[in-house]
Amino acid sequence: MTNNHSVLFGTAGGTFLSVVSNITTEDLTRTAVLAAIGAIVSFTISTILKCILKKHEK
């Protein structure tokens, strides 16, 4: 198997450019909103679980 970096970089570059060209502002906004919601839910659930565990330890 030969080690041809130009083919590897060309394939990776083409894949990257095709993905980047298809990302819209709507997709970025949706991703940011879903990430924020996920972080809030995760924080809330872990805080509730900590409170529940503290009550059971007493």
Which of 37, 35, 38, 43 has the alpha carbon at shortest distance from 51? 43
Q: What is the DSSP letter of 3?
A: -
Per-residue pLDDT at 6: 84
Q: What is the DSSP letter of 6?
A: H
Q: How far apart are CA 50 and CA 45, in angstroms?
A: 9
Per-residue pLDDT at 7: 86
- Block residue for tokens 């198997």: 1
pLDDT in tens, 23-55: 899 999 999 999 999 999 999 999 999 999 998
